[in-house]
Each structure stands twice: as structure tokens, then as C-alpha cells.
Structure 1
Amino acid sequence: MRPPPLLLLLLPLFLLSLPLAAPLSQDGLYLLQAKRGLSDPAGALSSWNPRDPDPCNWTGVHCGRPDRRVTSLDLSYSQLGGPFPLFLCRLPFLSSLNLRCNNLNSTLPSAVSACRALTRLDLPDNLLEGPIPGSLAAIPGLARLNLSFNSFSGGLPPRFGEFARLESLSLVSNLLNGTMPSFLGNVTSLKRLELAYNPWTPSDLPSEFSNLTNLEYLWLSGCRLTGPIPESLGRLPRLWNLDLSVNQLTGPIPSSLAWLKSAIQIELYKNSLSGELSLAFSNMTSLRLMDVSTNQLTGAIPDDLCSLPLQSLNLFENHFEGTLPESIALSENLQELMLFNNKLNGSLPSDLGKNSRLQSLDVSYNQFSGPIPENLCAHGELEELVLIYNNFSGTIPPSLGKCESLYRIRLKHNQLSGTVPEGLWGSPRAYLLELAENSLVGNVPDALSGAHNLSVLDISRNLFSGPVPDVFVSLTKLVEFNGSHNNFSGQIPRSLVQLSRLSTLDLSDNALSGEIPEGIKGWRMLNELDLDNNKLSGEIPAEIGSLTVLNYLDLSGNYFSGKIPDELQNLKLNLLNLSNNQLFGDIPSMYDKQVYKDSFIGNPGLCGDLLGLCPTRSDGRKSKSLWMLSVIFVLAVLVLVVGISWFYYKYKNIKKARKGAAMSKWRSFHKLGFSELEIADCLKEDNVIGSGGSGKVYKVKLSNGEVVAVKKLRGVTKKEASTFEPEKDGYQVEVETLGKIRHKNIVRLWCCCNTGDCKLLVYEYMPNGSLGDMLHKSKGSLLDWRTRYKIALDAAEGLSYLHHDCVPAIVHRDVKSNNILLDGEFGAKVADFGVAKIVKVGNGEEQMSVIAGSYGYIAPEYAYTLRVNEKSDIYSFGVVILELVTGRLPIDPAFGEKNLVTWVSATLNQKGIDDVIDPKLDASHKEEITKVLEVGLLCTHSLPISRPSMRKVVKLLQEAGSGGTARIVKRDGKLSPYYYEDAPNKANYSSENPVQYMKEQGSK
């Protein structure tokens, strides 16, 4: 049917009246071409669409007026992947390009020099690799270049000395291994130079850097610098930050640095500097923060230094001697004074704190004496007071009892006397009160109830007397209470049993009387209970058997009576001591063994089969003739046994020799209740419970009812043996390590065997297997949050023992969830020390010949430096924490090219905490889970220096479970963890330099 003629006439007019679609600009076409070369899993570029012809409206695009040309592009934190988008270089007016924190991979092409208009290029936190193109120097107006936190390798191209206008160059944390680029001394326009944490070839600090007369910020941490600090650095008139930490510099600090009059922060942390502190400090009138800690500096602390208007003075871990100059007390700006681990003596200045707003004072491990200054908290801002292991005497100043800002109080091991100010007992913010090993007297007042934030209370080895106050109902966060070796009397307070988070209770060596209070089953997290040498009486409560995580139980030296509860057999104790009481009856079968004899001596009424514990029971109804008949029968049996033995030896010697050889090199580390032959007979395929590259693991049930785990290491071929180094002998390392150490959170090695052809390791059996299997397989639902938190804390305590309590320290080198084993009550123990390394005294780190560890857990710096220290373990443990919080594997196809660490960071930034936490966890624990997550993020910091020590990790985890303060804050659009124990406003926190702040905090 034809349309009417009138409609045909009006149709052209209608089409002309329609608005014409505006064509996409040339800049828009270039942007779309760049988009096609990128992967965009998060849809960050979804607005880049031809339907909107104006690219100035697109995400991340900024245009200049009035011609609306693209001048700036910011696509940071967008999860973009793929190679560098060269099409962006066709934008003729693009002056700023920010692609930080994405997944750009491959190499950075030389053609990037086509971005001729660039003045700023930011590509940090990507996956770029290969050499850095020298063609970047051909960009005429480039003023800022940031390539940090990638995987660039090789040396820095010499063409970088040709930059004409470059003001900021940042190459932190790459794999650059050439020589320190002295030619950068030609780039006199530089104001900021950051080359830190690269495995540069060891060399001296280039004297050519003294030509950089505009330089304000020089960061050369972890650059393997050697030799002395050049005198020529004193010719940098504008330098305000000099950081030469974590190197191998030697010699004194040159006096020429006195010319750095504008310096506000000089850091020489963790070097091998020696000699005296020889700065002419009187010229450094602008100095605010000084850190020369962890070196080998000697001599006295210069009076000129203490006369400066310092905010922070860190001289810890050196060899300084003499007294602290009185002039330090005149500094009105002083907020932080850290002098621990030196050889300082004399008294602290009496006016210290009077003229300044002092916040942190740590002078521990010195030889200071005299009284504690009265004015330390004169301005009410003192938060941290650490005076442990000195010779301070006199009374604790009453002013400290009025200092409500205190949160960390450590006065242990001094010569303090008198009573403790009542206000100090009830410090409202204090989480740690440590008064142990002094001569303090008096009662503990009811004011203790005001310390509702208290986590650790240690008042042991003093002269306190009277009753322990019944005020613990308000101390709900208390984890550890040690009141041992005092003169306390009366009963154990009933309110103590209401502390559900209590892990350690030690009231030994006092005069406490009465019974153990009822209701102790509420101590579900109690690990250590020590009440020995008191006057306690009554029966041992059967409820103790319900304390499933109890590891240490000492009730000796009291007046306990009655029978030993059979419920004690439910416990997995490393120590049991019930000696010297008034117990009677039979010993529970689990403990009726010679190995436990010392646990029961001094109880005349106890009976059992333990030799020498109690008189042998005789049956009066037996006749003398029957006794004689029994003797004859025994003799006959002996003759028969001897005959059989001779026959066995004569005719079965081959089989016996084979087994005898196999057992000839058995070595035990604990008293054993089984024979070696019994182990060998049970190594059958039906008993295999696990296998790996090193061999198989068998579950062996012994005739005495005990169960052990046996690892049978596979044999090594001659070809393999010829390539092995001593450090790779897993059997030898395991035996030498586990054979010497004892800790409740380290798996126990019962015994071992090495005949050359056969190597066996016999461990305690852990019924719930490894954390990795439990968490990532079908049993993951059994791990609620409280269980996961306990596992994290147990494992942290085990690693802390290795790092801090073993002499020399031990680095595990393969911390992962599969090497954390769980007992029947989900208590965690660190296992598998086949690649562990003993760190020699004097060596903070040691270079390995090969990488040890498991993919996804290896610290980034270990992968390219092969240097092992405790920080490598801490990174791996951080990954384990992230596993516990997220329920995810460290490497997952869902992450793409990311790992768990980068996935957590990216997801936190884009979606928030709810998308990170394992959905199987109860949301009611969200606050505590968040705090533990922050500890994991702190442990996995890319800079080793920023990771806390394992001792600090244990404390942070305890505080996380006790309501400690932790926050995730946003920095430049990216979420980062900053863990505080104090108020939100940290005085020396710099929003301009968060990496520096984290480094300062991590070092402590």
C-alpha cells in the first residue's frame, strides 16, 4: 500500500528537523583504541562509550578549556590489566598520566617517549618488568616520574642523566641490580630522589649526588650502600630529609652534615655505622626528627644535639655511654625520646617533660639510676613510659597516678620501692601495667577496677601484701595476670573466674588460702594456671578438665586433698605438677606412667604402679609356698626366654641385623613409652595420612594406646646429593631445630632415625591435621571466628618464640597454613622445619643460595635478594592471617594475576570490608575480624622495615581480641593499615609521607 502523497512531501522536512549526532572527537577515538588494549574486569572504563561523544565526561578524563582537549588522565586503582596503552601517547596535550595501582604487565616500551607533552608519569604498584627504557629522558618537559613497586630489573640507563626538567624520580622497591647511578648527579633540577629497596650492586654512596643543589628529599634505604657517608653531602643546602637506613655504611657521621641547616629529618637507621656522633649540631637549627638508631655509634650523646628544638630523637640500639644531657629537658618541642639498648647511666634530667609535651619515653636496657622524674606527664600527654631493666630507685612519682593519658606502663626490673600511686592502678587507658621485679609494697587497691582497658597486669616479684581485690569483673579485657612471688593472702577472688579472655594466671609463691573458686569453666582461653607454693586446700575441681586449651598446670606445694579428677585426662598438658599436696587414691591411667612420677611425689596417699612413688601393695592371703612357687615359675620363664633369645640370635641373625641396622641410629628427645621396632612395623600404606615432595607421613597407633605421626623422608639419589648444600638437608635441619626447642605452639619431635637409606621423624600426632586442609576443604565450617583467632594467636606465639626466645634466633622460611597443625581442640602448632635457618649471632640476615618457601607466601624482597631474616616469616604469617579472615587460598584463579595480598588490598579499596571477610563467619565478630585483618595487612607490607616483629604481632593480636584500637585509613584514595595503640591523633604522623611513618612505627 503506498503512503499518502502528503506524507511523502513532509518526510524530508521531518528528517531535516532531527538533530545530527555529534561525531566523536579525535581524542575520544584515541581513548577508545587504548581501552581496546586493556582488560577491565571491574568495568572502570564502562563510561568510555561513543554514545557520549564528549570524552571529557568519561571516567578519569580531564580536559583543558576552552578547546576541550584531553590534558590529564587518572585511572589509578582501576584493576586495569594488559600492556602499557601506547595509544594514549597520541593525545597531543596529555600532560599528566596516572595509572598507579593497576595490573599493567609486560615491559614499558621505548615508544613511551612519544608522550611528548607529559610533565607527570605515575606508574607505581603495577606488574611492569624488564629494563627501564632510557627513552623516557627524551620527554622534554617531564618533571615527575614514579615507577616504584614494580619488577623493573637491570641497571638504570645512563640516559637518565640527560633529563632537563626532572624534579622527582621514584624507583622504590623494584629489582634494579646495577650500580648506584652516579650520573643522576647531572640532573640538577632534582628535588626528590627515591631509589630505596632495590638490590643494587654494593657500592659507596656516589659523591656526584652533591651536585644536586636543589635536592630536598633523598631516600636511599636498602640500597646496599657501603663505605663512609661522603663529606660532600654537606653541600646540599635545601635537603630536609636524608634517609640512608638499612645499608652497610661505616665510619662516623661526617661533620660536614652540620651545613644541612634546613634538615628536619635525618635517618641512618639500621646501618653498620661506627665511631662517635660528630655532627656540629649547633648549626642544624631546623632539625626536628633525628634517627640514627640500630647502628654501632659510640661515645656520649652530644649536648649540642639535645639543645636543638627536636620533636623526636631516636638513638636506640647503639653503644652510647655517659649521661643524658640536661639540655634535653629544655626542648619545648620534644614528643618522643627513644634511647633503649645503649650503655647510658646516671639520672634522667629532673625537669624532663616539664617544658615539653612528651608522649613517648623509652630508656629501657640501660644503666640509668636515681628517681623517676616528677614532671614526665606535666602536660598530660604522656602515653608510653618504658623504663625496664635499669636501676631506678625511690618511689613512683605521685604525678604518674594522675596521668590519665598513659596506655603503656613498663617499670619492670628496677629498684623502686614504696607504694604505687592509687591512680596508676586504675589508669583508664592503660592496656599494659608492668611493675614486676622491684621492691614495691602495700595492698592492691580497689581502684584497680578503673583499669577497664587493661590487657596485661604483671606485678610479680615485689612485696605486695593483703588480699587480691575482688574487682576483676570490670577488667573484661584482661589476658594475663601475674602476681607471683609476693605476700598476698586470703582467697582467690571469685571475680577472676569471670575473665573469659584470660590466658595466663600466675599467683604462685604467695600465701593464698581456701579453695579454687567455682565456675572456672569460664576460663575457656586459659593456657597457663600456676598456683604453686600457696596454702590452697579442698579438692582439685573436675572443671579444670574442661579447659581445653590449658597447657601448663602447676598446683604443687599446697594442701589439696581428695582424688585426682579423671577429667584431667581430657587435657593436652606440656607440664603437670600436683606434687607436695595431700592427694590420695589412684592416679588416672593416662598419667600412671614413670615419666609423670615427679608430678605426684610428696602425696603419701597416692597409689599407682610408679616405682618409688608409694609402697608396694601385698596380698596377705597368699601363702609362703605359693610365693615360692611363683619364684620358681619366674625362674623357669627366664630360662625359657634366654633359650629362645639364643635360638633367635643364632638362626635369625640376618633379619635381626637388618632391623638392628635400621634402628641403630635412633635418637630420642623425650621420654618414650614405645619401642623403635614398633614404629618400623607400622609403616604400612594403609597408615599413610599425607604425602609430599619430601616423603610420606604415617599415622601410627602404638600398643600403649598413644598415636604418633611418622614422616618417612624419601631417599636422595647420588645425582641429587651431589647438588645439595648443607642447608638443604631437611632431616638434619629438622632434627637440630626441633630437638632443641620446647614450646607449646611448636610441634614436638619425639625421636628420629637416620641410617642413610631410611630417615624417620616421629612427631606428636595432631588429630585435626593442617590448618590449610581444615580451612580450604570440606571442614572449613568447623572453624568459627573464635577458633580462627585462637589459631592465629597460637601460631604467632610459636613464631615469636623462634624469633625472640631462641638463642640464636630461628627463621622458619616456610610459614604457611599447611605447616600449622591443629590438635584435637584446634590448638595450633608450627611444624615442618625442613628449611629452617638458624640466624647466627651478629647477622641480622643471611643470603641463601636458593629460594625456600611456598608460592603465595614468599616475601617479595626474599624472591630477588635471597636474603633471609625474620621479616620473611612475618610476611608469610601475614598471608596466613589473610587466609583465616577471607577463607581464600593465597593463590586463586579468581584473583587473575593477583595474589591474596593484592586482592585484599584492592577489594578493600573498591568494595569495602564486607567483601573481604569470609561469608561463613558470624557478622557479630566483624569489629574484631577487622582488627585482625589489619594486623595481617601490616605483616604483608611491601617494605620489610614496616613489618612489626613477631613479638609485636602477638601483642597486636592480643589487643585485637581485647578491643585494642586499630583503623584502616584512606591515603591518596588507597586503603592502608595503620595500627595505633593510642589516640587517633599521633603527633609525628605525617599524611604527606605515610611510608615514612609506617617505617618509623614498624621499626619499633
Structure 2
Amino acid sequence: MSTAYSSMQHFPSMLLICFLFLFSKIKSDELQMLLNLKTSLKNSNTTVFDSWDSNKPICEFTGITCNSDKSVKEIELSKQNLVGVLPLDSICQLQSLDKLSLGYNFLHGTITNHLNNCTKLQYLDLGNNFFTGPFPDISSLSQLQHLYLNQSGFNGSFPWKSLQNMIGLVTLSVGDNLFNRGPFPNEVVKLTKLNWLYMTSCSIEGTIPEEIGNLIELSNLELSSNYLSGEIPSQIVKLRNLWQLELFNNTLTGKLPLYSNKLSGEIPAEFGEFKKLVNVSLYQNELTGPLPQKLGSWTNFDFIDVSENHLTGPIPPDMCKKGTMTRLLVLQNNLTGEIPAGYANCSTLLRFRVSKNRLSGKVPAGIWGLPKANIIDIEMNQFEGPVTSDIGNAKALGQLSLGNNRLSGELPEEISKATSLVTIQLNDNLFSGKIPVSIGELKLLSSLHLENNKFSGSIPDSLGSCYSLTDMNMASNSLSGEIPFTLGNLPSLNSLNLSENEISGPIPGSMSSLRLSLLDLSHNRLSGPIPQSLSIEAYHGSFTGNPGLCSRTISFFQRCYPKSGVSKEVRTLILCFAVGSMILLAALACFFHLKKREKYRDRSLKEESWDLKSFHVLTFTEDEILDAIKQENLIGKVIAGTHGYIAPEYGYTYKVNEKSDVYSFGVVLMELVSGKRAIEPEFGDNKDIVDWISSKLKTKESVLSILDSGIPESFEEEAVRVLRIAILCTARLPAMRPAMRSVVQMLEDAEPCKLASSAIGKDGVFNKGREGLGSEKCSPDQ
């Protein structure tokens, strides 16, 4: 009895201990979930994660809000330049999470069904990102009040039926996505608490339902750029709280808005006297004459869009007089005069677009540094003068379009501080001087057009750090020096034009790894061999006007001949170094090389050396490999013995430096496993080994058909493992390719040394268990 009484006395203490233990474990789990998010977005150009330290309380992390129990309640990381794939399986384990805000970033990948586990979400913003695929059914998120998915790359069928459980939804923004065409969803008109409905450009067809009048709380309704037809329903007059209605770019009948019509004549001068006018939308009409010069000078003016008309005269000077203007859109008219000086101080401007007019004079210096502007577009005018150092203040600037003017001077170094730049178009001006080395700091830069200017000096090596570059044009300048080796590091580069310059030296071997739809190096002073992978019909016109170039396959160039004086032993060693950026791959490479050498042992040195041309896709040369043979690069000892086995005590394998390329690495693996070259006639026109292997990944039999017929059946499993690694390394999206460190680990797990442990003797028979490779795993010295 006393024992039971004593146990009862201790029960509350035990319960408290259990609760504290459970609470501590929950906090630990939430910390790990947030750190998983940080890891997934580690390549982001942001400082937001600086405070995400495992030694700090999670409630002190930037962007994190906790509830009274110190559990994560909100994640607010919008507009933070985040890059990566969302780990929703981890995020949605946060039991108290009711707000997830990640809009205006650079997130990609698919949104998985794990999102359904965020059952307490009331606010979800994934808008303005770069996702792919359809958006999943989210029926379990019945507590949602705000849903932002606009302009995020989604396609396919949108799960409208999942909205029927969200009776408290206030904001629905799903526009600017390529959904499948379908009728206006009935589920939407039943959401009677909606205040904001944005369904612009999301493939809705048919008529607007009469029930739209049930949404009496609506203040904003945007249905433009769809496939809507019929009359605007009369019940729309019930929307008494509506302050913005956009229905343009449909085939609706009845009354139309003022813009996107065929309105002609002049804008009445009385518009300039309106005391409460804050917005003017008259674009895509046939209006003529000047804009009223007092326009927008009386109120807290917001924006003007009179683009695509025939307006003349100057830009009204006082539309930003009250310091509230967000958009100046007057492009594609016949406006004249200079940019009014007052706009240089308009710090609220998000878009400054005056292109395709007849404007002239110098651009006010403050325009270059507008702190919130994401677009500065002045192309196709007659502007003069320089881009000033104020450009360094344009922290939000994504698009800089200055083409086809008379701008001059040097491009300021401060342009590197405009770190949000995605597009730079300076073509067809009078810019001169060197291209700033600091331009390599623009990590988001996708398009760079500097053609038809007077730039001189060399192309900065730092451009090889602009990993987002897809389009680069520097044609018709006075650039000199060599093509930077680092350009071969640009995984997404699709178009490269360096023609009509004074560039000299060889074409870097690193460019072999690029997959370009357009390449133009013509009319320069290039010399040396054209890389084999670039010697294809699609590029034949890309090298004209370079008399110093040679080729083994393009007939109208002088023929290249291999260098003499390199011994067979040195060439074999170089091959082992080239394909052996790590010891595991070196063993595999030597195995395949020795097998081929035995098959063709009667050929001359010249013939055998050219049998190795499939390895030219690597982004470094023999000289660079030999230069890298230093003691500090040593990671192990291995060399191919003359009788087909590995002798660990006789040679060295060295680390591949930062110039190596995971994609090229995967191509080499494919060559080794298949016994084929990077480009073979059997692959088809404009197709390589990557395309060929991709076409065969259908059945087990077709996969096995890829393997070199010389590989014994007992080692097929190991060869398939290596092939799988090669496929990962050559993924189409650079972001999906593993890091080299991961490749090392995967190769260890694949046990390629087990495959290499059988070497070919002089009699052509596979021999197992030779000295130095008798074990199933590679020893540390190998």
C-alpha cells in the first residue's frame, strides 16, 4: 500500500519529465527541419540564412516567427533570391506552421504531394518562381485563407476541386500559368469570402458565369488574357466593392475597357486637371497628339500606361511629384524631348520604360540608380552620354535595356553591385573601354548583349562564374586576347557569339562540354585545332575568317596533325590522369584502355593515339594535366602496368582541379562503359552519346545492350552501376547534376575496382586476382 502511494506521489514528476523530454525532442526536430531547408537552398545569393545557426534558438532565425510554445508558426522568405528545390517533406512536418511565404524567388523543381501535410496553413505564397509540372491537389489545406501561385511555371490541369473545402479563402491568385484550357471553374464562384481574384492568363475559356455576382466582397477581379467569350454578365454590377476590373484580351462582347481598343484622336487636355486621377491605362490604341503636361501632378499618382499608340511631344514632368509613382510605361510612341529631371528622384518607380520613341539628351544620373526599379528600358531612342556609377544603387534591377542609342563611355565597375541583374542589353551603342572584371559577380545574369560597340581588351575570365548565362553576344567590337577557358564552365550557355573581333589563340578545349544551339567565332585571329566535338555540320560557318585554325574533319580548313615526340608510356599516363580525377575512376579507365589497346596492339603509335580522341571532351589539355602533377595534388598511387594490371607502388594519380566538369566526367564514363566515342554516326545527326544512351533507357535488355561487348557477364552489374552514375552526371538541368564529391562517393559504392580487378593478358583472356587488384574494394593506396 505504501509502495503504491509512493508511486502516486512521484507520478506528476514523471509526467513532467516525459513532457519536457517530448518538448525538447520537438524543438530538436524543428531545428533539423529548418536546417534541411537551409541546406536545400544553399546556393542562394542571400544573407538571410546567416542567422540560421544550430547553436541559436530557432525563433531567432531571420524570417521565422514562433508561437507562444516557441514552435515555428511562420516562414517568411519572399524576395530573398532563394535558389533550389523545396524540401516540402521536411517543411510540412512543422506541426504549427500556418504561413509559408516564398514568393518572388528563383525556386524550381516540382511541388510534391507532401504539401498536403501542411494542414494548418492559412497563408501559402509560391508565386513568381520557376517551378515545373502540375500543381498537386491540396484538398487537405481546408484552413487556407490566402493562396498565391501566380507566374510560377505550373502547367497541366489545375486542381480546382480542391478549392471547395477552402470556404474561408480571401485571396486566390493563380494567373500567368500554362494550365490546360477549361471552363470557368464553378468552385471559384462559391468562395463568397473572396476579396482578391487574379486569374489572368491561365487558359480559362467559355463564358463568365452569372454567379460571379455572388462574390460581393471582391475588390479586385482580373480575368484578362484568357479565352473568355460572350457578354459580360449583368450581375457583375453587384460587386459594389470592386475597384479594379480587368477583362481585356478576351473575345467578350458588350462594353469594353478604355485600353486595347481602336480609340483615336487626342487625349483630352482635361485629363491633366483631374484632381483624383491616379491610374491611366490607354495602351494599344491609335491615340495621337501630346500627353497633357499636368497629368498626375495633383494626386498620389500611381502609374501610366499609354504604350503602343502614336503619341507625340514630351513626357509630362510632374507625375512623380508626390513621390508615389510605380510605373512609367510610354513605350512605342513618337515622344520627343529629354527625360524630365524629376524622375531621377522617383525612388518608388518599379518600371521605367520609354523605349521605341524619339527621346534624346542625357539620361539623368539618378535614373540609373533607382533603388526599386526592376526594369530600366530606354532602347531604340537617341540618348547620349554614359551609364554612371549610380547603377550600383539599383539593387532590384533585373532588366537593363539600353540598345540602339548613342550612349558612350566605359561601363562602370559599379554595375557588379546591381546583383539582381538578369538581362543586360547594351548593343548598338558607342560604349568603349574594357569590360569590367567585376561583371562576374552577377550570379543571376542570363543574357549579356554587348555587340556592335567599341569595347576593347580581353574577355574577363570572371564571366565563367556567371553560371546562369544562357545567351552571350560580344560580336563586332575590338576585343583581343584569348577566349577564356572558364567559358566552358557555363552549364546553361545556349548561344555564344564572339565574331568580328581581334581574339587570338586557340579555341579552349573546355568549350567541348557546351551544348550550344548557336556558336559564332568567325572573323577573329584564332589558331590551332577546332575541338572535335565542335567539328559538326551545324557549326561549320562558325569558324570562318580564322586562317590559323585547322581541323581533321572540316574540309575547307587546313588539316591538323598530331604532335610528335610524345612516348606511348607518357600518353598512357596522361590518359590515366585525364580520366582518373579520382582513384576509383582511374582503375576503371585503365581497365578499358588496356582492353582496347590489346585489341588493337598491332596498330602504330599514331593510330593508337587517335583512337583516344573520344576523351577530348574533357575540359583540360595534356599540358595542363602535366603542369598539375605536383606533390600537393597527390591523392594516391596507381599506374597501368604493361601486362594489364595495376601496380600501386609505381605511379601517381592526381586530383582534377576546379576546371574539371561533372558533365564531361559523365561523358567519359559513358564512353568507358559502352566502348563508344562521344560522337558516332550511328547516333544520328546532331546527336551524341548522351542522346543515344537516353534513348535506350527503356528495358533491362536495352540497358544491357549499351555495355561494351568485351565486358564479361559476371561484371555487368558493376558496369550498370557506373552507367547510372554517368547518367546522373549528364542530367539536362545543371542543378540536377551531383557535385564531384558526391560522384566520388557514388563510385566508391559502385565498386568499380571489382570490375577492374580482371585485366586482359597478352593471350586476350580475362585474368582475375592479379597483384594489386585482388580485393573487392579499392585499398587506400589505390
- TM-score, normalised to structure 2's length? 0.47
Rg: which structure is higher? 1
Higher relative contact order (CA 8 A, sep 6+): 2
User: If the length of structure 1 is used for normalisation, what is the TM-score?
Assistant: 0.37
